[in-house]
Structure 1
């Protein structure tokens, strides 16, 4: 898979907190990115940008209530356990949260299928290179899919290194199965994909995250994407559902919530770290975005 495709997948995965156990690297994994994660037991509302590559999330261990929604829409919950999977081919950004049972680790496998591989499978199954839609799946089981994912997981963890021939055979089988089972020719009713190319989205978000303590400026982000400020702002909103300035606020609040939960640092210090020189301004924005004051969120008495 080209670097841009890997960056696309990582742009999504890097947004989801947890410990990465393993990740695919090298020629054996062409057109495929596989990553294993142990997730935190509880995750608040998290924005997942739209990326081109289909994503399969397979639950390896543990159980959780996972909730999904369109931006600001109603939450839809699924209780999942080992063996369940999600398939996402999102045309639009969406929001995600979960609460896992703490009796065992909540571990998942993320697999991003490269577009060249999906296109070859589409030609094989449908007879031509027409545009394909994969339907979204939330918390279902598929014995054939599990039977293909498990050996990929084993190859990823193999002490002898992966076999390129074996991995590519599994990847091709997986692509054909997804097209057969969950795919259909595009109907033309869904809007065409727009927004930033995923590798540019990743670089822009990384730049945003590295500068949360600074005043927001659009120009450096537009330069990173290689676009004018006008075209960058429009493309970024297509990818994430938010204007760049609003997205930075979301990132600041995510970081602030993490620091309030995990540290005992003074609130004014946390405010400074996420770009607010005034404690009152930080408290005002935090309350507006979360519904509670920073001290109440932390549970100060």
Structure 2
């Protein structure tokens, strides 16, 4: 997240795709991104988004003098290529367009979701970030590529079959202490990360990161009541970077601190 005052100069030039979305804009402002002879003028209100392909540089960026608060998301080109090469998508190497849009609800949603995770750590942040990158890659393919893969446009979501679902759930339960990634779960299901994420949610009713987070919370509750495992260890096993981060997250979910929760059940 960055604060931008009025500015004029070259844009980002890197190996990753850059997505910029305005968290706090101004109604009377304007911004213009220039790529070669093409200019993309957009209003600078909240929700405005820019997409800059990997290794493409904006020749000039002009923004309002009013302060703007923007989120910057960087997506590896390999993530886009992985979704494009999925056998269910089966399309050639994707080519993104440089674009600016006054409103993209999908970018705004995932951007704010990732930002919330950074500000308020949860027990399944790795899975959430993986899912955000995967779904944003699919969104870019559908809306900002030179073509739209038909299978993504149809957005078919078939639930995981019972056999695959059983394998994935068993894997999660066995590795609940580990840093579980979306790619590792997709491999267990023998699917791409893109289609696994949607199929899992269709079968369970919640995305993978929420399912893992709920399992870790229920285990943490049991361990807190038993009182045999130090709180710091429970925090680390639950996927948190510190005991304080775990305590804050626990209070948000349960409404009580770990100590208060233990006392409430012990009477």
Place the TM-score, normalised by the shorter chain, in its bin: 0.3 to 0.5
Q: Tell which structure's C-alpha radius of gyration is larger.
A: 2
User: Which one has the bigger strand percentage?
Assistant: 1
